[in-house]
Structure 1
Amino acid sequence: MSTMKKLAVASAAFGLLAASSSGVLAQKKYDPGASDTEIKIGNIMPYSGPASAYGVIGKTEEAYFKKINAEGGINGRKINFISYDDAYSPPKTVEQARKLVESDEVLLVFNPLGTPPNTAIQKYLNSKKVPQLFVATGATKWNDPKNFPWTMGWQPNYQSETQIYAKYILKEKPDAKIGILYQNDDYGKDYLKGFKDGLGAKAASMIVLEESYEVSEPTIDSHIVKLKATGADVFINITTPKFAAQAIKKNAEIGWKPLHFLNNVSASIGSVIKPAGMENAQDIISSQYLKDPTDAQWKDDAGMKAWNEFLDKYYPEANRADASVMFGYTVAQGLVHVLKAAGDNLTRENVMKQAASIKDLELGGLLPGIKVNTSATDFAPISSVQLIKFKGETWERFGEILSGDAGG
């Protein structure tokens, strides 16, 4: 064989080798729920039952993924969003999670709502190595990558939030007599723990009554009457939307006017304040990390304009005064960011790796100065809030952007 021929053969062989090795490098990787054409996302929401006010989160997410699909999908793949109702009942949540993983074979379970429902499926999803990603609950325990590497939170955690309220009370009303109403489950107890930790040694002398209610109760009126009777001048209201609206209304009815702190998960004007009566909600303090769609200051904001355009086209019937709509929109954007970053490696492991590698992500619905950050040891994407006070028909922000001390 001539030298020229030898070179040609060697060159061709090298070319084939290079082609095959680059083929290996560019190889697509899929776990169940992912293919060349689709990404199957599972979701569980309380479309019925005592927490049904949150059902709009799932509807907003569905609408957002329709928008993504209409624009060509994620790296050319369409999102197949499968969302089931669990009525905020943990046994039903378990049933729906098994269905999503074992029958529907989703790639991940995204933004399932509620602390008790997520607690019920956490061990199962971690044993199956299925991402339980950006859960819609601020319980502190979702930030535990060592013991639950497949579970990650999204919103600021409950303990940090109530620590911030406690610090405010210690500074502004150090002689307060505090009455607390909380939901008797993991969600309520997590908030309660953060608040007591925030008060520290003063908790014992300042708290005059801790009153719990069951989610199955039709009304919390009797609890409010009991709290008023203690003479408390500060009210810590740890309730989900239905009960939050009842509490605000009942306070007004019986003329109890304490300094009122309302947990962020029920600060929606559309689903809580309006039903309770805006006149009854004056001066309530809460916290915020999302822009309030009812606030005129965001009228010309680019992020708010994009949100309104999305709703006009994909979810026109949405109640734009409901903070849950902004929540669903923003967390869906967070998932899209993660899936785009995963590229053609759509394994469950890589999805979690990308979710744990978010750096200073700014989303249009977040307040200025609040960014999404995660790492392999920090599964709490959003950790800051700003205090707000209800005035007239809207929430007014005051003070600095704050973070509590509660970690994982």
Structure 2
Amino acid sequence: MRRSTGRGRSPRSGGALRRGTAVSAAVLLAATTAAACGGRDDDGGGTASGECEGQQTTGLTESSMKLGGIYPLSGPASAYGDIPKGIKAYFDYVNAEKDGVDGRKVEFVVRDDGYQPPKAVEEARRLVEQEQVFALFQTLGTPSTTATWDYASQRKVPQIFVATGASKFGSDDKHPWTIGWQPNYVSEGRVYAQHLKTEKPEAKVAVLFQNDDFGEDLLGGFKKAIEGSKIKIVQEKSYEVTDPSVEPQMRDLAGSGADVFLNITTPKFGSQALAADAKITDWNPLHILNNVAASVTVLKPVGFENVQGVVSSTYYKDPNDPQWNDDAEMKLYKEKMKQYAPNADPAVPYHAFGWAVASSFHKTMDAAECKTREGLRDSVRSLNNVEVPMLLPGVTMQTGEGDGFPIESMQMMEFKDERWSLTGEVIDTRKEFGPVGE
């Protein structure tokens, strides 16, 4: 890996709208031939026939599928509202130009929970009971997913590729209907520990973390991975999602004597921490920014000149990285984003994230033996090194018995000029550290 000894700074120069109603878009999802749909039962559901007889097909017909997504289109995490734009563009493209897969098209219903768990429960109930969705696709955030996964389990509704890396969403056998997609936070913490073992083996680390499962998972993974090394955590500060600012925590951390700052935040607070770090002239640590806050939409308001040398990790292709200019999937993504989402900037990585997760869902439905809720549940837990074109080379989806984590590999990256640049090689955390929980 390239050695990062700190961040050189040049001289300093000086979300999404709330939606009260569902945003519906016609989109396509792959669903191939295995089973025909049966008659609908009293609550609008149905059952499959043939080999998949007795399985649920609520929200699914021979020509259509309805999915429901829950995102913070408003509130403190509204930057994530860009993700469904990438999802919609992917499915709109497939729908319009591929005539569907096996003739099936999807209506994608997006709800806004404002990053409020009680609201997420309300929207999940609306999607399942009123909209009659086939599956909940992408419940975003650890708090919202935690609030809704009991309901999804009780209703036996797939809650697929939730947008959170909390490790419990791949390790809790009491909730087989819910599964994540992105690398879990424990594994991400392991990646940063591995980076420091190579680049700064005697690092003194100060940590800012969100006081919930998200922050505790990533920090816990980092702590366990540095055991037995000379890397030490010298100070920790937490924040609540209701806090107006993290500047007080940053001032305290600046006096810790740390030469590494581990920034475990969501986008709003990530920007605040980056800005506060830039203002503190007598503290110049290596700044490690966790992946969920690493979008250019988080860095740009701080000023690119103030975030040079910040490092993070990733697992999917960055549309701003010129090494992908001739990549077939990246060219397709940029072309179709402009065509089907003309008001969405293809350079925003959250749009590429949406495209990648939609493609992943497409692949998972292709692999399902039964095109039913049960079939989707089983397919997502038996992925065998599935390649998704928007993921980095060497990163595939793999799940199996006792392993509910589709993606476990990441690569470090460093911010230079106006974009992220990949460094080193892909780190397979399964290989380096073993299964999560061991």
Give the TM-score taking structure 2 as reference length.
0.83
C-alpha distance in 2 between matches for 1:123 and 1:28: 23
SS at match of 1:55: helix
In structure 1, the residue matched to 2:354 is 328
Answering whether residue 428 of structure 2 is matched by residue 399 of structure 1, we say no
Query: CA 1:27–1:217 in 2, change beyond 3 Å: closer, same or farther?
Result: closer
Which shows bigger deviation, 90-99 or 313-322? 313-322
In structure 2, the residue matched to 1:112 is 139
C-alpha distance in 2 between matches for 1:30 and 1:146: 21
In structure 1, the residue matched to 2:43 is none
Which shows bigger deviation, 388-397 or 50-59? 388-397
SS at match of 2:236: strand
Residue of structure 2 aligned with 1:135, choices 162, 177, 193: 162
In structure 1, the residue matched to 2:405 is 380
CA-to-aligned-CA distance 1:38-69 (integer Å, 9 cap, x gap): 11111100000000000011222123222232
In structure 2, the residue matched to 1:371 is 396
Written as runs of structure 1 = structure 2, the 5 A alignment for 1:240-259 is 240-255=266-281, 256-259=283-286
CA-to-aligned-CA distance 1:248-294 (integer Å, 9 cap, x gap): 1111112121011110111112x112111111111111111111111
CA-to-aligned-CA distance 1:354-379 (integer Å, 9 cap, x gap): 22232222222111111112224322
| 1:30, distance to aligned residue in structure 2 (A) | 4.9
- Which structure features the higher share of helix residues? 1
C-alpha distance in 1 between matches for 2:186 and 2:178: 18
C-alpha distance in 1 between matches for 2:173 and 2:322: 43
C-alpha distance in 1 between matches for 2:373 and 2:184: 25
Between Structure 1 and Structure 2, whose CA radius of gyration is higher? 1
CA-to-aligned-CA distance 1:126-158 (integer Å, 9 cap, x gap): 121111100111111111262221111101111
Residue of structure 1 aligned with 2:309, choices 263, 267, 283: 283
| Count of aligned positions | 383
Which shows bigger deviation, 171-180 or 240-249? 171-180
Answer whether contact 1:41 1:79 (CA < 8 A) is retained. yes
Answering whether residue 141 of structure 2 is matched by residue 151 of structure 1, we say no
| 1:92, distance to aligned residue in structure 2 (A) | 0.5
C-alpha distance in 1 between matches for 2:175 and 2:288: 32
C-alpha distance in 2 between matches for 1:144 and 1:332: 23
Q: Which amino acid aligns with 1:105?
A: Q
C-alpha distance in 1 between matches for 2:72 and 2:372: 28
In structure 1, the residue matched to 2:106 is 79
Answering whether residue 283 of structure 2 is matched by residue 261 of structure 1, we say no
Q: Which amino acid aligns with 1:373?
A: Q
In structure 1, the residue matched to 2:81 is 55
SS at match of 1:235: strand
Residue of structure 1 aligned with 2:199, choices 172, 188, 193: 172
Answering whether residue 378 of structure 2 is matched by residue 353 of structure 1, we say yes
In structure 2, the residue matched to 1:10 is none
C-alpha distance in 2 between matches for 1:28 and 1:318: 42
C-alpha distance in 2 between matches for 1:293 and 1:38: 31
Q: CA RMSD in A?
A: 2.0
| 1:168, distance to aligned residue in structure 2 (A) | 2.4
Written as runs of structure 1 = structure 2, the 5 A alignment for 1:7-22 is none
Answer whether contact 2:338 2:344 (CA < 8 A) is retained. no
Answer whether contact 2:72 2:80 (CA < 8 A) is retained. yes
Q: Which amino acid aligns with 1:282?
A: Q
Answer whether contact 1:42 1:100 (CA < 8 A) is retained. yes
Which shows bigger deviation, 358-367 or 189-198? 358-367
In structure 2, the residue matched to 1:3 is none
In structure 2, the residue matched to 1:32 is 58
In structure 2, the residue matched to 1:11 is none
Q: Which amino acid aligns with 1:361?
A: V
Query: CA 1:280–1:143 in 2, change beyond 3 Å: closer, same or farther?
Result: same
SS at match of 2:258: coil
Give the TM-score taking structure 1 as reference length.
0.89
Q: Which amino acid aligns with 1:386?
A: Q
Residue of structure 2 aligned with 1:362, choices 353, 373, 387: 387
| 1:26, distance to aligned residue in structure 2 (A) | 9.6
C-alpha distance in 2 between matches for 1:287 and 1:208: 23
Answer whether contact 2:56 2:374 (CA < 8 A) is retained. no
Q: Which amino acid aligns with 1:299?
A: N
Residue of structure 2 aligned with 1:194, choices 199, 213, 221: 221
In structure 2, the residue matched to 1:101 is 128
| 1:308, distance to aligned residue in structure 2 (A) | 0.9
CA-to-aligned-CA distance 1:3-33 (integer Å, 9 cap, x gap): xxxxxxxxxxxxxxxxxxxx95698965211
- Aligned-residue sequence identity (percent) comes to 46
SS at match of 1:109: strand
